[in-house]
């Protein structure tokens, strides 16, 4: 009774909206794997605690857009991006924050001395005006793909300025499959 057109059916997904984000990361030199995060995370997983010159807590919100990780396109290491973290850091504001981590290998990578002007140093960055960053100065990151942790000291840096001040220690972990 009904004649098939022979054309394939197209199913639209909410994941189409993240395509430009993934393309941008790939163009930046990163192979990306995105994993959804469920709301069932417990304990201190997906929580980052700041102590020192600035204090507070950031939590990773459950969303398929919040966690990406993978081998760097250059083959020189790995990259983890945790986005849409919320919380308040005294003296640095509240709102959404992101964390970019660049371990050189799976397992634990130690940072003895960081170059705060490097594009591959780990950093927290706010989504505020002015943009605030906390840039790594020392510590370690443990990377196992979808899971990992940091124990690092960071310097406070308002983007656009030439100042890096205050020492803040950040401890936390992520689990993209939680």
Query: Which tens digit of pLDDT belongs to each residue from 89-103?
Result: 998 878 799 999 989
Q: Give the model confidence (pLDDT) of 133-178 as tens digits.
A: 898 889 999 999 999 999 999 999 888 888 888 899 999 999 988 7
Query: In whole angstroms, how far apart are CA 58 and each of 100, 116, 134, 154?
Result: 14, 22, 13, 15
Rounded to two decimals, the pTM is 0.71
Strand partners, 30: 72
**Quick check: 2 pLDDT over 50?**
no
Strands (E), 32-104: 33-34, 47-52, 56-60, 67-71, 78-89, 93-101
Higher pLDDT, 73 or 139: 139
pLDDT digits over 10-66, tens only? Answer: 333 333 333 333 334 443 444 444 333 333 334 478 999 999 999 999 999 756 678
pLDDT at 111: 84
């Amino acid at each position: 009774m009904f004649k098939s057109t022979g054309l394939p059916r197209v199913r639209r997904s909410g994941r189409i909206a993240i395509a430009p984000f993934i393309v941008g990361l790939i163009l930046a030199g990163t192979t990306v794997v995105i994993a959804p995060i469920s709301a069932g995370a417990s304990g201190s997983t997906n929580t980052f605690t700041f102590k020192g010159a600035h204090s507070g807590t950031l939590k990773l919100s459950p969303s398929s857009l919040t966690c990406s990780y993978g081998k760097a396109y250059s083959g020189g290491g790995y990259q983890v991006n945790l986005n849409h973290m919320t919380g308040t850091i005294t003296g640095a504001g509240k709102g959404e924050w992101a964390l970019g981590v660049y371990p050189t290998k799976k397992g634990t990578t130690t940072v003895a001395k960081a170059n705060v002007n490097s594009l591959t140093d780990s950093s927290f960055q706010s989504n505020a005006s002015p943009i605030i960053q906390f840039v790594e100065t020392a510590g370690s990151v443990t990377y196992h793909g979808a899971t990992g942790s940091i124990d690092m000291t960071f310097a406070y840096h308002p983007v656009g300025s030439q100042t890096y001040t205050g020492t803040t220690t950040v401890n936390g972990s992520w689990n993209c499959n939680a």
